[in-house]
Amino acid sequence: MLNSIQNSFKSCCRSHLSMEDAVFHMLGAAALLAKVSGERKFQSPESSSINTLEATSAFLLHVVTDLQGILYRKLHVLLRHQSEFGEDGLRWDADKEKMLQGNVRSLIPHIAPGNSRQEYLVYTMTQLMGYYEKKRKLLTAFAPGHAPSASPWMTESEEVWRSPIDNRKSRTEAPVVD
């Protein structure tokens, strides 16, 4: 790759990192909104607006998941052309996992058992976590030694989002997002 083209390409790598930062920020905000929605359900569980609240909160996560999917694909393109990008500070971010865990715990416990929206939410979460796992593996492949080899949260509480339909305990827990 010619040097000046490479410089422009590096700008694309930097803008990709800005995008990842922004998605991380949005996940935090979505968790905050999910927490408020969850509290509202505790305060007035019979309210007719709860369904709408749940649906819009889940949809926001769905959109973020779509974006993460595109970013994953773009990361693949970037790494294919400039493998050192993997060593350029882009790595699996454990904070994102924690944020996502907050989202799961805020939303899932408050959705009624057997509700189809819960299944939809779990599907979305699974998809999102899948992208993070794939991203971690991709970075490990391109920049070995720079990405953590295991995702701590996956093994610890994967049950919460993998099989929450039968996980009665999780539904009674209060939101944990600060």
Partner 1 sequence: MSMPQIPEEKFRPSLEEVVIDLLASIALEETALSHLIHAEAEKIQMFVGQYKDSSFISSKEIVAVNQSVNRMMETIVMKEWLLLKKLEDVLQIEVQEEWDEE
**What is the pattern of x (binds partner 1, CB under 8 A) and - over residues 38-77?**
-xx--x---x-xx-xx--xx-xx--xx-xx--xx-xx--x
* DSSP secondary structure of 86-124: GGTT----HHHHHHHHHHHHHHGGGSPTT-HHHHHHHHH
102 phi and psi angles, rounded to 5 deg: -60, -40
36 binds partner 1 (CB under 8 A): yes
CA 138 to CA 142: how far, in whole Å?
A: 6
Residue number with CB closer to partner 1 (30 or 139): 30
Residue number with CB closer to partner 1 (81 or 169): 81
Contact 92/141 with Cβ under 8 angstroms?
no
88 binds partner 1 (CB under 8 A): no
Six-digit token pair at 39?
């509290």
Contacts with partner 1, residue ranges (CB under 8 A): 1-2, 4-5, 7-9, 11-12, 14-16, 18-19, 21-23, 25-26, 28-30, 32-33, 36-37, 39-40, 43, 47, 49-50, 52-53, 56-57, 59-60, 63-64, 66-67, 70-71, 73-74, 77, 81
